[in-house]
Homo-oligomer: A and B are copies of this chain.
Amino acid sequence: MNGLHATGSPYAPHTDETLTAMLEAVGADTVEDLFDIPEAVQYDGEFGIDARTERETRQLVRTILQRNADLTELLGRGQYGYYVPSVVDHLSNRSEFLTSYTQYQPEVSQGFLQALFEYQSLLVELTGLSIANCSMYDAASALGEAATLAKRVRTTSGHRVLIPELLSEGRRSTLENYVEGTDLTVETYATADGNVDLEALEEAVDETAIMIYAENPTIRGTIEEHLAEIGAVAADADALFVLGTDPIALSLLQKPADVGADVVVGDASVLGLPASYGMGLGLFATRESYLRQVPGRLVGASEDATDRRAFTLTLQTREQHIRRERATSNICTNQAWVALRTAIHAAALGPDGMIELAKRGVTRAESLAADVDALVGVKAPVHDRRHFREFVAHVDQPAKAIADDLERQGFAVHVVGEHELQFCVAGVTDDELDAFVETLEEVL
C-alpha cells in the first residue's frame, strides 16, 4: 500500500478512512488528542533522521559494511567462525520461530519449546550434568551467573571466586560486574605453561573460596590436563568447580561430569552462529541438586489435558517476573533463537560430525603449528601442551608489525604478546591455511 511515496511508518496499515473511523470510535479529533503529555516535556524537535526506501536502506547498510576489510580470520580466543550449514539459516529463519515471543502460552508454542528442550538435552549429553537452561547471553554473563549461583548454594562464609590469570578481559570484567553487588571478590590464580598451575591453585584455595573457574581448552588453545585434580581441589574446599568450554570441545574432550564439574559455562554459539562480532549464546549446565537455584529459563516436559506429552517453561518461580528481587537472575530476554540454531547445527552434524570437527580442531592446529614452527624466526607452539583449535607462536620480530603486515596481505591474527601471535584454524579452509603459511613466510 505504501508504494514508493509513503509518509509515516511504512509498516502501519492505516488509511485515511480507517483513521477517521477509529478516531470517531474513541471520540478524539486528532491522534494528538490521545497523548497525555504535559506541554513542558513535549518534544517538538526533529531527530534529523531521513526516511529511506527499503532499497536505499539496504544500499546504505551495504555501503557502510563494505568498509570492513575482507580478511581470512585466524581468530579465536573464545569466538569461532565455523562454517554454518545452510539448513541452519533456512530453518531458524522460518518466521514462526523468528517472530515469536517467549513461550508464555505454551499451547501455541510447542515447536519452539520442543526445540529448546532438544537444545537443553544436547548440553546434558555433552556435559554429563543433568540440568541445562535454555540460554544465557554469552559465555561471560554465564560465568557471572555461575558466581551468583555459587553464592546462593554455598552456605559457607566463603567469598572468594578464583579465576585463572589467563582469561579474556571480557569474561573477567563481566564476572566482576556480576559480583560487584555481592560480597564476593574475584582473585586470579597462576597458570603454568598455558594450563592451571595446580600447586598455585591448591595454595590459593582455602575455606573462603566458594568457586574455582577453569577453562578447557584455555584461551591460549591448550588442552587442560588437570581437570580431575582441579575438581578434587574444589570438592575438598566445598567450592563450586565451574568449567568453561563449548559444545565442539565437549564433543571430544573430557566430559565435565567425569572430572567433578558442578557448573559448565561457555559459548554454545560455536555451533550455530558464524562470526558475529562477538554475539554469543551463554551455555549453562549444572547438577540436579541446584535445580531450584538455576538462573534462566528451563523448558520441561509435561502433559496436556488429553494426556499427550507437551512442553512448557517450568520452575518459573525462580524468575524475575514472578519472584522479583528474590529471583535467581534478572535475565528475561535471552538468546533462545541462537539456541535453536545451535540445536539445528548439532543435529546437522550428528555425533560423528561433531567428533570429527573436534578432532580436526586438534590435528589441524597441531599441523599448522608444525608448519609455522618450520619457518625461520617462529617457534610454535609456545606451550608444551596439546592444543585445540588454536595455539600461541613466538616470533622473533615484533608481533604487532607482523600482524599488520599479515592484515595487509588479507589475514587477521591475534597479537597476544610483544613477541607472541595466536593462530586459530576454526572455520579456515586447508587452502587458506596453506596460503597463510606462505604469506607468513613472506612477511617475516
Contacts and interface: CB of A to CB of B under 8 A. Distances in A.
Interface of A: 1-5, 54-55, 58-59, 83, 85-86, 90, 94-95, 349-350, 352-357, 360, 429
A72 to B, nearest CB: 13
As for how many copies of this chain the complex holds, the number is 2
A353 B2 contact: yes
Nearest to A83: B55
A3 B352 contact: yes
Contacts of A54: 85-86
A4 B355 CA distance: 10
Contact of A2 (B3, B350, B429): B350
10 contacts: A2-B353, A3-B349, A3-B352, A3-B353, A4-B357, A4-B360, A5-B352, A55-B83, A58-B86, A90-B95
A59 B3 CA distance: 37
B86 A3 contact: no
Contacts of A95: 90
Contacts of A429: 55, 59
A95 B87 CA distance: 12
Which of A55, A355, A429 is most buried by chain B, counting CB atoms within 10 A of its CB? A55
A4 B90 contact: no
Contact of A5 (B3, B4, B59, B356): B356
Contacts of A83: 55
B1 A352 contact: yes
A199 to B, nearest CB: 40
Contacts of A85: 54
> A-side binding surface: helix, strand, loop or mixed?
helix
Contacts of A59: 429
A213 B70 CA distance: 52
B90 A356 contact: no
Contacts of A94: 94
A353 B4 contact: yes
A86 B95 CA distance: 14
A439 B1 CA distance: 36
What are the 4 A-B residue pairs with the smallest beta carbon separation, nearest first? A3-B353, A3-B352, A1-B350, A55-B83
A424 to B, nearest CB: 17
A58 B54 CA distance: 28
Nearest to A351: B3
Contact of A4 (B3, B86, B356): B356
A202 to B, nearest CB: 41
A429 B55 CA distance: 10
Contact of A350 (B3, B349, B350, B353): B3
A272 B429 CA distance: 37
Contacts of A1: 350, 352-353
A441 to B, nearest CB: 24
A90 B59 CA distance: 18
A360 B1 CA distance: 17
Nearest to A85: B54
A55 B357 CA distance: 14
A360 B357 CA distance: 54
Nearest to A352: B3
A351 to B, nearest CB: 8
A1 B347 CA distance: 8
Contacts of A357: 3-4
A357 B355 CA distance: 54
A92 to B, nearest CB: 13
A59 B83 CA distance: 11
Contacts of A349: 3-4
A327 B285 CA distance: 65
Nearest to A355: B3
A356 B6 CA distance: 12
B356 A3 contact: yes
A59 B431 CA distance: 12
A353 B59 CA distance: 20
Nearest to A82: B55
A55 B5 CA distance: 41
A396 to B, nearest CB: 35
A340 to B, nearest CB: 16
Contacts of A355: 3
A31 to B, nearest CB: 22
